[in-house]
Chains A and B, each alone.
Chain A
Amino acid sequence: MNATARADGVAKRFGPKVALGGVDIDLAPGITGLLGPNGAGKTTLLRILATVLPADEGTVELLGLDPGTPDGRLAVRRRLGYLPQEPGFHRSFSAFEFVDYVAILKEWGERGARHDEVRRVLSLVGLESVMGTAIKKLSGGMRRRVAIAQALLGDPDLLILDEPTAGLDPEQRLRFRELLSAVAARSTVLLSTHQTDDVAALCNRVVVLLGGTVHFTGTPPDLAALANGRVWMDAERDPSAQLAWITGEGMVRHIGLPPSGAQLVAPTVEDGYLTLTGATAGVLA
């Protein structure tokens, strides 16, 4: 694989808590999905790859540069787009003012060109009609799209997105998928999400992080295949299943070790992920 970003043995501690315990990850052009439960270390890893947090151990190489040096970090930041989990934008700014502010920080000095770029990215996320509206008056989904817009400034070569679809409605999520797949044609994208269907729909590769270490790297079909022979449907709940829930058709979908004669079905990425994480939430209704 021709990696454009790489982390080798990256570790990070916060006091006694180990957030990352030696993570190896390679990112290639296209979209890599990052899955993991809350507290798995996804946000810490993303912050390290976005150059906003230094690793305690290990090496990081982004776009062929070392972000551990001032010059390398500056060069990476000039080609980077980053959507943090909590954008924390100034709510008295309008959508335009916020993205314009970030554009200035991204060295868009010439006002006319900068404003054109701000309008372009806000249009990309479908916010052209509310550019002048104060962020505090926008819905949660619109605010998320404002945050996505700033990450797209300047067509970055490396785009790091922490839960970009949180708060987006189904139509907005589909539009986001369309947008992101176009961006990924020319960039390397790392997408952290809890939405396994986004991973299945968008990603070339997927990495699963558990307890601060990488537990799976492969394609979405590879992840789904982890649940081969472990997903079955039945009219009744099987208490021995690792997980079971009633589907819209009124059948119970099970994950775990199937009983003999069970009606096996093709697993999804979500099934593979749940199998890997060993989720034992019990029977879900």
Chain B
Amino acid sequence: MTTWHAPADALVQFARSPETIDEVTASSVEQHLVACAACRAVVAEATDVAERRRSWAEVVDAIDQPHANLPERLLVRLGMPSDMARVVGATPGLRIAWLATAALLAAAAIATSRDAGSDTAFLVLAPLVPLGAVALTFLPAEEPGGEAAMATPFAGAGLVLRRSVAVLAPTFAILALAGLAQPDLTAGGARWVLPGLALSVGSLALATYVRVTSATTALAVGWVVLVGLVSLQDGRHGPVADTVVFGVVGQLTAAALVLAATGALYLRRDRFSTMEVTW
């Protein structure tokens, strides 16, 4: 056992402000403390316990801090509060897999259009992508909180709409980029937007009446059948972009449907607060 002890002022400085001691002295004190119980007691007495507890709590908190995925980090960068970003970022539609799928769909539509020498595939498929994205936000197996989440104050239309906006924004962005790459779409390249909005907002409204899968399927089939029928009638002599669906009447009708669906959604928003809206 050692009979030498470190100077008291050095021990106190070591305990309270170790950053002010030079490295050699700090190492020396550290080594001495390993062998000297009396000096350890001096350090313990000089230590600010509350400060140490706070520091330790910070370390523990940093270790426990949940891992933020890419969408969550992006949402925080865009200014969303971290807790909200965590809830919205957990949306399956925001995951990379979905975004990659949307990009692939868009690419496939472009490729098909180029091969066919027309805009048909892109204009028909593009509105269906946001429709699918909205449906995925309801996928029950992907709700991180499970059924327990439904019994929380946060559950309800507010969360559904935030997630829908979060998933629709990147989806529309991807499709807009894809639209710009279309060889045959110029000024009319955005004519899929309003039908896409009508289908996605419409699916939310319809989901308050029937299952999400039924609403999505009905709207998707309805859209394809509508475009097909109109193309058969009007499109024989030109591209599908020139049919009534993508003309002024079609665009105004889609806009009216967006408004009507938004109204229905507002009136029936309470349905999202319980398990009445189901996948």
Task: Name A residues whose Cβ lies closer than 8 Å to a Cβ of B.
Answer: 47, 50-54, 70, 73-74, 77-78, 80, 82-84, 86-90, 93-94, 96-98, 100-102, 104-109, 111-112, 114-115, 118-119, 131-132, 147, 150-151
Question: Among the interface residues A50, A53, A101, which one has the most CB atoms of the partner chain B within 10 A?
Answer: A101
Within 8 A of A (CB), among B59-101: 60-61, 63-67, 81-83, 86-87, 90
How far apart sit A77 and B273, CA to CA, in the bound complex (Å)? 11
- Within the complex, the shortest CB–CB distance from B240 to chain A, in Å, comes to 41
How far apart sit A97 and B69, CA to CA, in the bound complex (Å)? 12
**Mind listing 13 A-B residue pairs with CB under 8 Å?**
A52-B275, A73-B273, A84-B147, A86-B147, A88-B141, A88-B147, A89-B145, A102-B149, A105-B153, A111-B82, A115-B61, A119-B64, A147-B148
Asked if A84 contacts B154 (CB within 8 A), the reply is no
- Within the complex, the shortest CB–CB distance from A273 to chain B, in Å, comes to 27
Give chain A residues whose Cβ lies under 8 Å from the Cβ of B86: 100-101, 104
Chain B interfacial residues counted at CB < 8 A? 34
Which partner residue on chain B sits nearest A87 by CB separation? Answer: B146
Q: Between A and B, how many residue pairs show CB distances below 8 Å? A: 115
Contact partner of A53 (CB less than 8 A), chosen from B65, B87, B141, B275, is B275
Q: A101-B86, A101-B90 are in contact. Are A88 and B151 (CB under 8 A)?
A: no
Cβ of B224 within 8 Å of any chain A Cβ, yes or no, is: no
Give chain B residues whose Cβ lies under 8 Å from the Cβ of A112: 61
Which partner residue on chain A sits nearest B92 by CB separation? Answer: A90
How far apart sit A51 and B64, CA to CA, in the bound complex (Å)? 31
Cβ of B45 within 8 Å of any chain A Cβ, yes or no, is: no
How far apart sit A280 and B87, CA to CA, in the bound complex (Å)? 49
Within 8 A of A (CB), among B136-164: 140-155
Asked if A151 contacts B66 (CB within 8 A), the reply is no
Asked if B87 contacts A104 (CB within 8 A), the reply is yes
Q: A82-B151, A107-B153 are in contact. Are A102 and B275 (CB under 8 A)?
A: no
Question: Among the interface residues B82, B87, B146, which one has the most CB atoms of the partner chain A within 10 A?
Answer: B146
Asked if A105 contacts B66 (CB within 8 A), the reply is no
